[in-house]
Amino acid sequence: MMNINEDVIEKIAIDVGISPPELTAAGLLALLREKKRRIMVERLDILTLYNVISAEELEKKVKNAEIPEHPAWEDLILVENLEASIAAIDGDIKAIQKPS
């Protein structure tokens, strides 16, 4: 990826009519929202595979032997990790949006 210096950021900010800090914040928000969207799609794909709507419901189905433990336990761990990633991204988004 190319190195973007302050002059490039300044030029783009002027071109789009916002300040460089606003441009940086907008870029970060767009990146984080897209990453969150991709993670949410992956989470939904896994939950849909087991016809559940939450990690808790998936865990309950595994514990009640309604679905096979393998690979459901591994998928449950993955869903929980994806949910943790979503929470972290939400925290980053809030930090960016917080008034200074």
CA 31 to each of CA 37, 68, 89: distance values in angstroms, whole numbers, following the listed order: 10, 37, 10
What total number of domains does the chain contain?
Answer: 1
Residue 1 lies in a domain: no
Supply the mean pLDDT for the chain.
Answer: 95
Question: What average pLDDT score do residues 34-49 get?
Answer: 98
pLDDT for the residue 4? 85
CA 65 to each of CA 33, 45, 79: distance values in angstroms, whole numbers, following the listed order: 36, 21, 19
Residue 15 lies in a domain: yes
Residue 55 pLDDT greater than 70, yes or no: yes
Strands of the chain, DSSP E: none
Q: Is 82:43 a contact under the CB 8 Å cutoff?
A: yes
Residue 12 pLDDT greater than 90, yes or no: yes
Question: Which single residue is written with the structure tokens 């940086």?
Answer: 24
- What is the residue range of 62's domain? 6-97
